[in-house]
Structure 1
Amino acid sequence: MKRRNFITSAGLGVAGLSLANEASIKSQPSISTTKHQFNLKYAPHLGMFKNLAGSDPIDQLNFMADQGFTAFEDNGMRNRTVELQSQMSKVMEKRNMTMGVFVAHTIYWKEPNLASGSKEKRAEFLDEIKKSVEVAKRVNAKWMTVVPGHVDLRLNKAYQTANVIETLRHASAILEPHNLTMVLEPLNFRNHPGLFLSESPQAFEICKAVNSPSCKILFDIYHQQIQEGNLIPNIESCWDEIAYFQIGDNPGRNEPTSGEINYKNVFKFIHSKGFEGVLGMEHGNSQVGKVGEQAVIDAYKESDNFTD
């Protein structure tokens, strides 16, 4: 090859690499290194930022804190090793993060348990609540999720309700001395057909009947948008019994701004009520990879920007 042709070919090769590198850089998300100050305590979960933070749970927690998130939730916390629970608790304490909910018991998706009035199922549930108290102490949690399970088609709805209330009173007696709260989560009929608890007024009625500071509502905005809509008025009506929120846009159950819910207005209303608890980010990412994870962060910054 002649020297002139070699130089020309080499130059084109370098130029090609340069353009490829430039394209690669442009495709990478712009990661903020400045901690954002949110108005509310939004709580991500493990896996939400695994591409940006890495697979290690401790690295993910630190990444969340670095981005300005002041809370964290983990549905599967009770099934993690004691060692990992303790490590995560130390990081949350150090980074001033509030621990949100974890699921307190085995959820019966296909058969009745609490609604049935079965003494065996009740004993199993209460035993798991006792064990979850120890998990809550270990990770400094205040709330734990409870789902009463499937309907019992052989019983009148009123009898089922009475069975659920009686069991939750027993559970409240376990939780009250520790200042812990189980939050009842109504789930929508489309994703979870056949469950006993589906609507916020129903949860409100049950909490009033249990009459304990240890039995409150987890208002999942995604589920209730599908189940009943009318979000802000229903939140207002249930306010005295709501202790926790969870988030997800609809359709898709992804981050705010990806669907139809006006989260900026919903968050503004919750903030106006003086809510100081946790709002769990119990949703997926609408986009994959690092770009999708940064989009989640940006969506929360946008939706939380309601005071301007």
Structure 2
Amino acid sequence: MKRRSFIKKSTATASLLGMGFSGINAMNILDSNTIKNAFKLNFAPHIGMFKHHAGSNPIDQLNFMADQGFTAFEDNNMKNRSVEIQKSMAKTMVDRNMTMGVFVAHKIYWKEPNLASGNIDKRNEFLNDIKQSVEVAKRVNAKWITVVPGHLDLKQKMDYQTEHVIETLKQASGILEPHQITMVLEPLNFRNHPGLFLTESPQAYQICKAVNSTSCKILFDIYHQQIQEGNLIPNIDACWDEIAYFQIGDNPGRKEPTTGEINYKNIFKHIHSKGYKGILGMEHGNSVSGKEGEKRVINAYLESSKF
């Protein structure tokens, strides 16, 4: 049922912004203008999130996202796609007035130290990855790229490791600044990613202040920081001037909002009240499989946008 028809036929019921979640969840997917107006923030789905509706072709998936009113998109795997696909996806996003979000900029070392070690070969490898990512970013109109500094170096004191990371990021910023591209540092939680160097928002904040560049900011992943440190809204406020990007996932489960313990309605309200115009990446799975699960994702964001 189209939203306009629903309104005409349901004058006795509440409007979209006053409906309960069960009412929204029972509806079919709404038209794009209604959803776009209801969302209030720039939520960014990823490839595969709506594959049961749109199929496997990434262009079809982008068009489906735009048809549902989404104004942004992110793709961790963009750098590994062919140049032809990158160009096609970029054209589709331009045609559909969608903003490109993050992609992963470099090889991430999950089990051994790289940036924290101070090893020059590892540093140069990272900087070369950043140079390559600049070309991808220009091709797909991306302004943000994800950086994860990798594993701890257990043979060095933390202060030395921090200085190694800062120096590498300063050099990377020098590569990115002329292109007005921002690497966003993502702290990750200890449960899913044990042993990593960067884990908490105050640590990321300190590093960004030391690098002192418009090209080095924080990716505040709400799912990771709920597990790692909690105290979400105060930590968002404390880091605000260094946050350039958000990602979303409820806990436990890393599924869409309304499936776990995080009060996303209040968090979105707070972020919106601070005038945030950037992207919030939907970096989570679907709690229900198939088309019904994909509808539920959209409806969960509608519910969480009712503030």
Give TM-score, length-normalised by structure 1.
0.89
What is residue 30 of structure 2 aligned with on the other side?
32
Q: Which amino acid aligns with 2:249?
A: G
Q: Residue 123 of structure 1 aligns with which residue?
A: 124
The 5-angstrom pairing of residues 178-257 of structure 1 reads 178-257=179-258
The residue number in structure 2 matching 1:21 is none
Task: Work out the CA distance in 2 between the residues paired with 1:29 and 1:50.
Answer: 19
Which residue in 1 is equivalent to 2:50? 49
Are residues 1:297 and 2:298 paired? yes
Q: Does 1:63 align with 2:59?
A: no
Match of 1:90 in 2: 91
Q: Which has the larger radius of gyration?
A: 1
Change (3 A) 1:160 1:34: closer
Are the equivalent residues in 1 in contact too, given 2:51–2:61 (CA < 8 A)?
yes
Return the offset for 1:250: 0.2
Corresponding residue for 2:106?
Answer: 105
Aligned length: 279
Aligned residue runs from structure 1 range 259-274, under 5 A = 259-274=260-275
The answer on whether the counterparts of 2:44 and 2:281 sit within 8 Å (CA) in structure 1 is: yes
Query: What secondary structure does 1:115 align onto?
Result: helix
Contact kept? 1:29, 1:290, Cα under 8 Å = no
Give the secondary-structure state (helix, strand or coil) at the position aligned to 1:219. Answer: strand
Conservation of the 8 A alpha-carbon contact between 2:44 and 2:72: yes
Deviation at 1:114, TM superposition (A): 0.1
Gaps of 5+ in 1: 1-27
CA distance in 2, matches of 1:76, 1:54: 18
**CA drift at 1:124:** 0.2
Pairwise CA distance, 1:29: 7.3
Moved over 2 A (4+): 28-35
| Alpha-carbon displacement from aligned partner over 1:287-307 (angstroms, at most 9, x marks no partner) | 00000000000000110111x
State the match for 1:149 in structure 2. 150
**TM-score normalised by length of structure 2:** 0.90
Deviation string 1:130-165 (CA, Å, 9 cap, x unpaired) is 000000000000000000000000000000000000
Gapped regions of structure 2 (runs ≥ 5): 1-25
Aligned match of 1:75: 76
Residue equivalent to 2:161: 160
CA distance in 1, matches of 2:251, 2:106: 27
Q: What whole-Å deviation, never above 9, does each CA across 1:169-196 have from its counterpart, x for those lacking one?
A: 0000000000000000000000000000
Q: What is the CA deviation profile of residues 25-44 of structure 1, one whole-angstrom value per residue up to 9, with x for unaligned ones?
A: xxx97233443122000000
Alignment RMSD: 1.0
User: Residues 265, 29 of structure 1: CA spacing in aligned structure 2 closer, same or farther, 3 A cutoff?
Assistant: closer
% same residue: 75
Q: Using the alignment, how far apart are the partners of 1:82 and 1:297 within structure 2?
A: 30
2:32–2:66: 8 Å Cα contact kept in structure 1? no
